[in-house]
Amino acid sequence: MARHDPSHPAPAETRRGKRAALLSRRLMPAALALWLALPGPAPAEEPGIITSHGISTYGELKYPAGFAHFDYVNPEAPKGGTMSFRGTGASQTFDSLNPFILKGEPAQGLGLLYDSLLVGSADEPDSAYGLVAESLEYPEDRSWVIFNMRPEATFSDGEPITADDVVFTYNVLLEKGAPSYKIILRDITGVETLDPHRVKFTFREGAATKDLPMTAGGLSILPEHYYETVPFEESTLTPPVGSGAYEVASVQPGRTIKYCRNPDYWGAELAVNVGANNFDCYVYEYFADNNASFEALKVGNYLFHQEFYSALWATAYNFPALEKGWVKREALPDNTPTGTQGFWFNLRREKFADPRVREAIALMFNFEWTNKTLFYGLYKRTDSFWENTETMQAEGLPEGEELAALEPYRDTLPPEIFTEPPYTPPVMSTQQLDRSAIRRASKLLDEAGWTIGDGGLRRNAAGETLKVEFIDDNSSFERVFNPYVQNLRRLGIDASYRQIDAAQMQQRQEDFDYDLVPGRFSMSLSPSLELRQLFSSAAAEAKGSPNLSGIADPVVDGLLEAVISAEDRPTMEARVRALDRVLRSMQIWVPNWYSGQYLIAYWDVFGRPDMQPEYARGDAYWWFDQEKYEALKAQGALR
């Protein structure tokens, strides 16, 4: 299933964030990005080599070799019916079926088309099990990994999936894929076919290798024979040959896309697939705006809806289908990090070079007023990049392993990193313009050399006006931006909000052509290699990278590499707290809000397992209940 944004309301996931998702969607069930690593439990016959059915970053695997199914599924779930959603994501439209390149706006759900060597579990934070790979082998230092592939695995056209296809996938993504692949794959030095169903990845000497086998195992496997005649680097609406359980059944660009199960899918009986892939088809319906999509839900034009807008959740769920019990409404717990939503400064622009300028601009966003006036008090203020976690969000003063991670940079970091709690946005009054905030922001801008000049606007010594433009392609966020812009103008900043179309938004993000842009990232429960895409100097100028702020700082680079190289979970979590503390001090974003819940509504035509997976929304394991459907149909509820 494609990932849904679990914050409410939220700007769409950035295109760069979506395209940078290297791992197969099967390795990221529902909203969870599972960035995984080693080791596996059972030793092979060769001394020093581990052979296993799965791998875990830290500690033991939950599921032993030969397990029957994941605990959170119903192994007897019937197959059939259709699950339908509204199309969400980067924009309200799509024009491509190629999610691996920058060109075009890919449709939602394309992860259904592809399998990978490994697949994640939704009730462990950092484990994965064999899918196309029956087993894997690796030495204790994790300097390489061999995947033993299932000979029965085939592509959707019936051609076998071989080691050569895995080698091709790596090469074509590196050479012709989105630029972010060069960052993620940089520590893989070679991929070679050992025999038709045995492939070896070798990793760079000196690299932090604990996560690299999972990077390799998470690649969506692409068919070499298909791309001998089809240009990989081109956007297309021709349904591609895939390696997963579903195929594109029909597509109407910008309106709807339908995926249906491949009746000849080779892996239906695998333990990792038992209780999953229960629907015959998945449909994504696209609408011009959120109001149109909500009206469509009310009459059953699609069946499952996650609500991102508090005003609707608080006031609009009183329509006839819900009052009659035909539609169900629930708030499910979200146990994943949910805090990386905000308005991101583009530090590539000189006017944002001084952190005092960025802090002053951020102070003019009044969350308390916004939450009360626009969001019905349903949300909490984000202050951490790992919000909604107990062990990775920095709090208080640094100590222990967190302090040890910061010590090498003591002479470079601001002193308050070591003497004060991490930066938290001040609590403001519920008046739109908080007087204390504007006084503080004015002082910061004065100190930074942006003083009030003619016409009441802020200018620097060169006479340049401080201009700030917000851009977005979603009209529903206008109600948030406009009051914020008004506050900034009261501060003397020439602020504006501009709504642009989806194509412009995509291009401007890819070219880093913006002042501030809304964006959100689903952070991992086990942060690792993906941090290079989000915050590294290498990603700052890589076209299409998700480093929205363009942060390029040696301390951040050092800390994220320290996280990647951590050998155990407590050390990793402490180093993440150190990174969180430093990032918060740098004022690279205007943090927004979070809920910690999935707000969902759905037509009562589904069955579901007894338990929700701990780290997923869970609807990927629901099924279609034909009796419920027929009952609603008999009442005239559904056509």
The CA-based dihedral angle spanning residues 184, 185, 188, 194, taken in that order and rounded to the nearest 10 degrees: 130
Label residue 286 by pLDDT band (50, 70, 90): very high
Q: What angle do CA 461, 463, 464 make, to 5 degrees?
A: 105
Residue spans of beta strands (DSSP E) within 140-197: 144-149, 188-195
Domain count, the chain: 3
For 231, counting Cβ atoms within 10 Å of its Cβ (0-12 exposed, 13-18 middle, 19+ buried), the class is exposed
Confidence of residue 202 (pLDDT cuts 50, 70, 90): very high
Are both 298 and 348 inside the same structural domain?
Answer: no
Mean pLDDT of 511-516: 96
In a domain, 78, yes or no: no
Residue among 468, 290, 486 at smallest CA distance from 370: 486
- Give the pLDDT band of residue 89 (cuts 50, 70, 90): low
Q: How confident is the model over 371-397, as a mean pLDDT?
A: 94
Are 214 and 145 a contacting pair, CB within 8 Å? no
Burial of 158 (0-12, 13-18, 19+ CB in 10 A): exposed
The winner for highest mean pLDDT among 11-20, 307-316, 490-499, 506-515 is 490-499
Average pLDDT over residues 486-499: 97
Average pLDDT of the residues in 294-306:
96
Pairing of strands 188-195, 198-203: antiparallel
Residues 316 and 404 in one domain: no
SS3 112: helix
Query: What is the model's pLDDT at position 210?
Result: 87
Q: Is the pLDDT of residue 368 over 80?
A: yes
Residue 496 in any domain: the answer is yes
- The answer to whether 546 touches 16, Cβ cutoff 8 Å, is yes
CA distances from 483 to 261, 433, 467 (A): 47, 9, 16
From 193, 220, 244, the end of a domain falls on 244
Residues 384 and 307 in one domain: no
Alpha carbon distances (Å) from 527 to 167, 208, 337, 401, 509: 26, 13, 10, 16, 24
38 confidence band (pLDDT: 50, 70, 90): very low
| pLDDT tier for residue 22 given thresholds of 50, 70 and 90 | very low
455-484 pLDDT tens trace: 899 999 999 999 999 999 888 789 999 999
Question: Do residues 378 and 434 share a domain?
Answer: yes
Pairing of strands 281-285, 82-86: parallel
Both 159 and 41 in one domain: the answer is yes
pLDDT of 48 reads 87
- Whether 274 and 324 map to the same domain: the answer is yes
Q: 271 is in which domain, residue-wise?
A: 256-336+596-634
396 and 467 both lie in a single domain: yes
Greater confidence (551 vs 340) lies with 551
pLDDT of residue 463: 95
**Which whole number is the average pLDDT over 496-502?**
92
| CB neighbours of residue 237 within 10 Å | 16
In this structure, is residue 1 part of a structural domain? no
pLDDT in tens, 607-638: 999 999 999 999 999 999 999 999 999 999 99
CA atoms within 13 A on the CB side of 169: 28
Q: Are strands 133-139 and 144-149 parallel, antiparallel or unpaired?
A: antiparallel
Q: In what order do the strands lie in the sheet with 246-252?
A: 82-86, 281-285, 256-261, 246-252
Taking the C-alpha atoms of residue 451 and residue 447, their distance in angstroms, rounded to an integer, is 8
Which residue, 244, 277, 296, sits at the end of a domain? Answer: 244
pLDDT tier for residue 8 given thresholds of 50, 70 and 90: very low
The reply to whether 292 and 364 lie within a common domain is no
- Least Cα distance to 481 among 608, 598, 374, 589 occurs for 374
In the prediction, which pLDDT does 489 show? Answer: 98
| CB burial string 266-298: b at 16+ within 10 A, e below | bbeebbbbbbbbbbbbbbbbbbeebeebbebbb
Verify that 564 and 602 share a domain, yes or no: no
Residue 547 lies in a domain: yes
575 domain residue, yes or no: yes
Reported as a pLDDT band with limits 50, 70 and 90, residue 47 is low
Query: Does the pLDDT of residue 281 top 80, yes or no?
Result: yes
In a domain? residue 3: no
Least confident of 146-150, 519-523, 531-535: 519-523
Average pLDDT estimate for 564-590: 96
Percent of the chain with pLDDT over 90: 80
Model confidence at 309, pLDDT cuts 50, 70, 90, reads confident
CA separation for the pair 447, 441 (Å, rounded): 10
Domain for residue 26, yes or no? no
CATH at 579: 3.10.105.10
Nearest Cα neighbor of 19 from 83, 93, 105 is 105
Report yes or no: 281 and 249 within 8 Å, Cβ to Cβ: yes
pLDDT over 70 at 7, yes or no: no
| pLDDT on residue 211 | 87
Looking at the structure, do residues 294 and 427 belong to the same domain, yes or no? no
- Total Cβ atoms within 10 A of residue 424: 14
Q: What distance in Å separates the CA atoms of residue 141 and residue 517, rounded to the nearest whole number?
A: 41
Average pLDDT over residues 291-310: 93
The closest alpha carbon to 517, from 470, 479, 586, 483, belongs to 470
pLDDT at position 46 = 62
CATH of the domain at 311: 3.40.190.10
Res 14: pLDDT: 36
Same domain for 491 and 446? yes
Query: Is the pLDDT higher at 120 or at 60?
Result: 120
pLDDT score, position 291: 86
**Residue 1: predicted pLDDT:** 29
**Integer distance in angstroms from the first to the last C-alpha of the chain?**
26
In a domain, 326, yes or no: yes
Least confident of 42-51, 154-163, 474-483: 42-51
Tell me: the pLDDT tens digits for 227-272?
A: 999 999 999 999 999 999 999 999 999 999 999 999 999 999 999 9
Task: Select from 244, 278, 295 the last residue of a domain.
Answer: 244
How many CB atoms within 10 Å of residue 452? 14
User: Looking at the predicted structure, is the pLDDT value of residue 594 above 80?
Assistant: yes
Specify the pLDDT at position 339. 65
Range of weakest confidence among 89-98, 264-273, 287-296, 332-341: 89-98
pLDDT at 11 over 80: no
**Do 494 and 388 share a structural domain?**
yes
498, pLDDT greater than 70: yes
Closest residue by Cα to residue 31 from 622, 597, 522: 522
The pLDDT confidence band at residue 21, using thresholds 50, 70 and 90, is very low
Among residues 174, 141, 165, 592, the alpha carbon closest in space to that of 342 is found at 592
Six token digits for residue 184:
């993620």
CA angle 288, 291, 295 (to 5 degrees): 105
Residue 19 pLDDT level (bands cut at 50, 70, 90): very low
Determine the pLDDT at residue 237. 97
